[in-house]
Structure 1
Amino acid sequence: MPEKHKMTDEELTMMQEMVMENEEQEADNKVLEDIPEDEISDLPASFHMETYDEEENDIAIKSCIGSSLEEDKQLSDEEITDQDMQDDEEIDVSRLKLDEEDEKDLELDREDLEIRPNDIVILVANTEDDFSNLEVQIYDEENGSLYVHHEINLPDFPLCLSWMDFNPVPADPTKELESGSFVAVGTFKPGIEIWNLDILDVLEPSAILGGEEESMRKNVMPKVSSKKDRQIRLRHGSHTDAVMSLDWNHTHRNMLVSGSADHTVKVWDILTQNCLHTMQHHTNKVQCVRWNPSETTVLATASFDHRLLVLDGRHPDAFSSFPLSADVESIAWAPYQPNKLVAATEDGVVVCYDVRMNASEPLTRFQAHAGTVSAVSFAAQIPGMFATAGIDKTVKIWDLLHFDKEPKCIATKEMNVGGLYAMSFCIDTPFLLGCGGASGTLALWESSEKCVIEEHFQSRVQKNQQASVLAAAKVGEIAATLHAVDTQASTKQKKKKPKKKRSSQE
């Protein structure tokens, strides 16, 4: 059950300072009008304002109050009867009933806050006008109910999310791999905020990777006198522009990768909040980053430079490059064939590459939507079940089990939430997927409700364990291929060094 956040003395002081600074700012902006004294009318003489502050009046009032209290005390001592005692007992009984009702209400509140093992937790980032927040929504699959469990107010427009179970600030420093429920949020700012989802009414993130050097508290409400003079200083290793993509490494749990509008890809150590590597392979904004689900040091990145890159984090200077037809929108590794990588672009095209081949032509290319394909996702428990979402407001289900054949569209559904911007399968429920649209609403689809989908894929659900074993046996080929590319790149660099040196001397 999530804990309720308790404000510290430091946070209370911060809130008081914010209120005071708000009042000062309002006072500075308010236009004061001079009112001539002769326009102020005097109060009637009957009010005796000239003697209003004299102490005698205060003494008289206190005397009056004191005598009244004494009379009430005497009356209460003299007039207590059996009826009064009975009334008091009835009041006590009614209070007891109220206490019992309060306890029941509290128990109901506890039940509402409790997240049960079968509940599906969904993170939803919302923005309306200048207000942004992160909603933790709960879907009770058994009852078909969906509700907002709690929400976190975000200081900036959210661009990307990545859930993690790694605590960036462990309570016990000796237990570095402490678990929890956290989410990394990328915004238009260069910093990456990590929020604790287990605490209600949280005011600030548990950790910030990169971003401004000054603390968040100082930046929340800068003083008017220093607002113009304040220079933004970034922490060492920080991005310098918006953070557009994030992905947490499920195996190396302290590692998070980020892609930015500053054209770089960074790998972070969540525990130390330091940047481990900065990769500058792209020449435009980095829209997508994804760790390979099986070979966990292999990373895919995609940029608006129309290139899809695959590299090994142990040899970041070596990479394989694959061309794209337009600006990339989404990428995904095939969970049961981890050497296959899918990318979707704004021209509605989906391509699939075998990253071991380092070939310029994809295994598969097909027109998934008439407009932009905003998101792609594989069903984690059903080999070959693949979904695409588009700005055309629809989700399409495809059979992408055999990448060397033309994929077949099994079904199409309009989600009725406007143009779709995000979509993903649930990793714990085979056929369930969720998507977010322009209307600002989350839509869930139990795709097995369509008989054609259930009939087509149901037989594959029982075979998922065997498929995952076969996939694990093949993943080593990816790293070996990239390592071979690394060796070739190093040889080529050694041959080019003398030429580069001569040109610099000229």
Structure 2
Amino acid sequence: MRGVAMYASNKDDPYITQQVDSDEEEEKDDILIKPNDNLVAVAKVVKDEYNLDIYVYNQTNDDWYCHHHYILEAPPLCLETIQHDPGNDETGKGNLIALGTMDTKINIWDLDVMNACMPIVTLGEKPASKEGKSRKKRDGSQQGHSDAVISLSWNRNTPHVLASGGADQQIVLWDLDEAKAAQILPPRGAEVQTIQWHANEDTILLAGMMNGTVQIIDCRDNESPPVAEWKFGGQIEKVIWNHFDLQQAIVTTDEGLLSIIDTRKSNQVLSEARAHEGGVSGVSLSLITKGLLATAGEDQMLCIWKIEDSGALTKIHSTKLNLGELHSLKFNPDIGSILAVGGSAGELVRIIDLNKFEAVGSAFT
């Protein structure tokens, strides 16, 4: 073919004045977070390496990839997203995540800063005295936890407040604006495995302990007994409010028990089910589809449940995911049937559309 000039690169072609590198554009497109993207934060422990990986999920484009990650100094035990940023003087809103660790501290990372080397703030970092030793405040109160931080909950109604539960049996309320402990509740009698703030009442906290106790706590008064209390066999794994009916809460244990409790009455249990063989390490309630509940267990099973208005439980579906023991799961806040599940083997985390299970679709139509 005559009269045709070929160039090894578009940069060498004098007739192409706007240079566009397709690989570079594709990379930029992957970095850009779109309005219909969801971010999935995954805390990983692989041998002696600890990472926080941030994945992008987009249902429309079927995208699922690791967007960026952070290297952690200590094993992560729990995490909680925070939409409050004290450094944002305009709106006060942010895109942060808090991690509880084995070393008593809470590290807060800014998800908008890719591959940062350090958290933007560390809660509970005890200053050294002149002798180089950690100290307490002169009034005798602690400055944070004295053991591992194993549970976290951000208060959406009072955005500058973060609650943490520790292996030291303490619940600490942190002032994010001041980056320090604002209140330390009396010891709960056992390790505080799981906590969650009430959706409407900004002082009411639901807590589950390793001695099998579940409590509803009014944080306004340190001296008062719990508002309500329940006692279960085994250790409490997870507690969450039923956000469709706040007179109910959901409890799971390390003995495989799933319970719906009446939050108005101590020791009042509306329904119970043997959900898994072994601990029920994950539980999540759809934010969109009323009554759609998922549990994850040490038996490697994902189970789907329906909560009736009465609190009665019906098992809809169960499946083995081949992810090893399942540790956690969370519903997509924008799409009622999409679930992220974390395990101990294989790809470690997987996105599942529950609509592909016929029984689930039939139960919630």
TM-score (norm 1): 0.65
CA contact (8 A) 1:165 1:181 kept: yes
For residues 13-412 of structure 1, what are the structure 2 equivalents within 5 Å?
Answer: 94=12, 103-170=21-88, 172=89, 175=90, 178-213=92-127, 231-233=133-135, 237-318=143-224, 319=226, 320-358=228-266, 360-405=267-312, 407-412=313-318
Secondary structure in structure 2 of the residue aligned to 1:256: strand
Distance 1:112 1:91, change over 3 A: closer
Shift of 1:180: 1.8
Shift of 1:313: 2.3
Task: Look up the equivalent residue of 1:164 and give its one-letter code.
Answer: I
- Aligned with residue 417 of structure 1, among 313, 323, 327: 323
Q: Deviations over 1:193-229 (max 9, x none)?
A: 1101001121111111112326xxxxxxxxxxxxxx9
Distance 1:95 1:284, change over 3 A: farther
Q: Deviations over 1:460-499 (max 9, x none)?
A: xxxxxxxxxxxxxxxxxxxxxxxxxxxxxxxxxxxxxxxx
CA contact (8 A) 1:284 1:304 kept: yes
CA contact (8 A) 1:383 1:401 kept: no
Q: Deviations over 1:418-442 (max 9, x none)?
A: 1101111112111111111011611
Secondary structure in structure 1 of the residue aligned to 2:23: helix
Identity %: 26
Distance 1:91 1:398, change over 3 A: closer
Secondary structure in structure 2 of the residue aligned to 1:375: strand
Structure 1: distance between partners of 2:310 and 2:195: 22
CA contact (8 A) 1:385 1:401 kept: no
Q: Deviations over 1:297-330 (max 9, x none)?
A: 2101111122101012223433121111110111
**Which residue does the alignment assign to 2:3?**
none
CA contact (8 A) 2:262 2:268 kept: no
Secondary structure in structure 2 of the residue aligned to 1:201: coil
Task: Look up the equivalent residue of 1:116 and give its one-letter code.
Answer: K
Shift of 1:185: 0.5
The answer to which of 257-266 and 424-433 deviates more is 424-433
Secondary structure in structure 1 of the residue aligned to 2:196: strand
CA contact (8 A) 1:374 1:422 kept: yes
Structure 2: distance between partners of 1:91 and 1:353: 67
Q: Deviations over 1:226-272 (max 9, x none)?
A: xxx96445785211110000011112111100000010001111010
Secondary structure in structure 2 of the residue aligned to 1:448: helix
Distance 1:344 1:411, change over 3 A: same
Structure 2: distance between partners of 1:163 and 1:246: 9
Shift of 1:144: 2.1
CA contact (8 A) 2:126 2:143 kept: no
Structure 2: distance between partners of 1:242 and 1:371: 24
Structure 2: distance between partners of 1:211 and 1:376: 31
The answer to which of 179-188 and 205-214 deviates more is 205-214
Q: Deviations over 1:141-185 (max 9, x none)?
A: 123221000111111100000001111333x4xx5x522210000
Structure 1: distance between partners of 2:305 and 2:148: 33
CA contact (8 A) 2:260 2:311 kept: no
Distance 1:264 1:423, change over 3 A: same
Secondary structure in structure 1 of the residue aligned to 2:352: strand
The answer to which of 264-273 and 232-241 deviates more is 232-241
Shift of 1:106: 3.1
In terms of fraction of residues, the more strand-rich structure is 2
CA contact (8 A) 1:334 1:340 kept: yes
Query: Structure 2: 5+ residue runs without aligned partners?
Result: 1-7
CA contact (8 A) 1:120 1:139 kept: yes
Structure 2: distance between partners of 1:395 and 1:91: 51
TM-score (norm 2): 0.89
CA contact (8 A) 2:302 2:320 kept: yes
In terms of fraction of residues, the more helix-rich structure is 1
Shift of 1:446: 0.2
Task: Look up the equivalent residue of 1:376 and give its one-letter code.
Answer: V
Corresponding residue pairs, total: 350
Structure 1: distance between partners of 2:295 and 2:311: 19
Structure 2: distance between partners of 1:98 and 1:328: 66
